[in-house]
Amino acid sequence: MKQKRIFSLGTALLMLVSIILTFSSPQSSSASSTTLLTSKEILANEKKQPFDLFQNPILGDGADPWVVKHSDGYYYYTHTTGNNVTIWKSKTLTGIHSGERQVVWRSDPGAPNSGSIWAPEIHFIDGKWYIYYAASVENPDKRMFVLESEGDDPFGPYHYPEGTEDTHGQITDPTNKWAIDGTVLEHNNKLYFVWSGWEGDVNVSQHLYIAPMSNPWTISGERVEISRPELDWETIGFPLINEGPQILKNDKGKTFIIYSASGSWTNDYNLGMLTFDGTDPLNPEAWEKNPTPVFKKNPDLDVYGPGHNGFVKSPDGTEDWIIYHAAKFENAGWTRSVRMQKFTWNADGTPNFGTPVGTETWLRVPSGESEGQFVPSLPGEVYQYEAEDAHVNNVRVHHNTSASQDYKVGNIDFADSFVEFTVNVPAGDYTLVSRYGNGMGEPSSHHVTVNGEANGELWYINLGWENWEDAKMDIQLNDGENTIRLSKGHLYAELDYIQLIPKASKVYKYEAEFAQLHKAETENDSSASNGQKITNMNENGGFARFEIDVKNTGTYEMKIRYANNTGSTSSHKLVMNSNPTKIIEYRNSDSWQYATVDVKLKAGKNTIMLKKHKGSAIIDYFTIEEK
Q: Provide the edge-to-edge strand list for the sheet that holds 516-518.
A: 516-518, 543-550, 604-614, 570-576, 579-586
Quickly state the pLDDT bin for 3 (edges 50, 70, 90).
low
pLDDT given at position 41: 38
d(CA 575, CA 559): 15
Question: To which H or E segment does residue 20 belong?
Answer: helix 12-23
pLDDT given at position 371: 84
For 570-574, which contacts have Cβ atoms below 8 Å and span 24 or more sequence positions? 570/613, 570/614, 570/615, 570/616, 570/617, 571/613, 571/614, 571/615, 571/617, 572/610, 572/611, 572/612, 572/613, 572/617, 573/610, 573/611, 573/612, 573/613, 574/599, 574/608, 574/609, 574/610, 574/611
Tens of pLDDT, residue by residue over 518-570, are 999 999 998 999 999 999 998 899 999 999 999 899 999 999 999 999 999 99
Q: Is 453 a catalytic residue?
A: no
pLDDT given at position 14: 41
Secondary structure (H, E, C), 296-308: CCEHHHCEEEEEE
Residues 6+ apart with CB under 8 A from 523: 354, 532, 533, 534, 535, 536
Quickly state the pLDDT bin for 610 (edges 50, 70, 90).
very high
Instruction: Quickly list DSSP for 208-261.
Output: EEEEEEEETTEE-S--EEEE---SGGG-SSSSEEEEEEEEEE-TT--EEEEEEE
Does the pLDDT value for residue 39 go beyond 70?
A: no
Name the average pLDDT for the chain: 91
Secondary structure (H, E, C), 473-506: EEEEECCCEEEEEEEECCCCCEEEEEEEEECCCC
Three-state secondary structure call for residue 285: helix
Quickly state the pLDDT bin for 343 (edges 50, 70, 90).
very high
pLDDT given at position 4: 56
The domain defined by 382-502 carries CATH number 3.40.366.10: no
Three-state secondary structure call for residue 319: coil
> Where, residue-wise, is CATH 2.115.10.20 in the chain?
54-364
Q: Cα–Cα distances in Å, from 32 out to 20, 29, 35, 335, 463?
A: 20, 9, 5, 46, 34
Say how many C-beta atoms besides its own lie within 10 A of residue 262's C-beta.
27
Rounded average pLDDT over 204-214: 98
Alpha-carbon torsion, ordered 310, 401, 415, 390, to 10 deg: -140
Q: Cα–Cα distances in Å, from 580 out to 37, 398, 427, 607, 608?
A: 36, 53, 41, 11, 10
What single DSSP character describes residue 375? P
Say how many C-beta atoms besides its own lie within 10 A of residue 338's C-beta.
24
d(CA 242, CA 403): 31
Q: Is 481 a catalytic residue?
A: no
pLDDT given at position 46: 44
Question: To which H or E segment does residue 17 belong?
Answer: helix 12-23
pLDDT given at position 505: 80
d(CA 152, CA 157): 10
The domain defined by 507-626 carries CATH number 3.40.50.300: no
Tens of pLDDT, residue by residue over 135-177, are 997 777 999 999 999 999 999 999 999 999 999 999 999 999 9
Task: Report the share of the chain in percent with pLDDT over 90.
Answer: 86
Q: Cα–Cα distances in Å, from 416 out to 272, 339, 411, 440?
A: 51, 37, 11, 20
Three-state secondary structure call for residue 551: coil
Active-site position among 64, 173, 381, 388: 64
Active-site position among 148, 173, 181, 243: 243
Q: How long a stretch of residues is the chain?
A: 627
d(CA 29, CA 489): 34
Name residue 572's beta-bridge partners. 584, 612
pLDDT given at position 37: 37
Task: Report the share of the chain in percent with pLDDT over 70.
Answer: 92
Taken in order 157, 183, 64, 523, is the CA torsion positive or negative? negative
Question: To which H or E segment does residue 42 belong?
Answer: helix 39-47
What single DSSP character describes residue 108? P
From the number of C-beta atoms within 10 Å of its C-beta (0-12, 13-18, 19+), residue 426 rates as exposed
> Where, residue-wise, is CATH 2.60.120.260 in the chain?
382-502, 507-626
Residues 6+ apart with CB under 8 A from 598: 555, 556, 557, 558, 627
pLDDT given at position 43: 41
Does the pLDDT value for residue 26 go beyond 80?
A: no
Q: For residue 31, give the amino acid letter.
A: A
Which of 2.115.10.20, 3.30.499.10, 3.40.50.2020, 3.90.1150.10 is the CATH number of 54-364?
A: 2.115.10.20
pLDDT given at position 48: 65
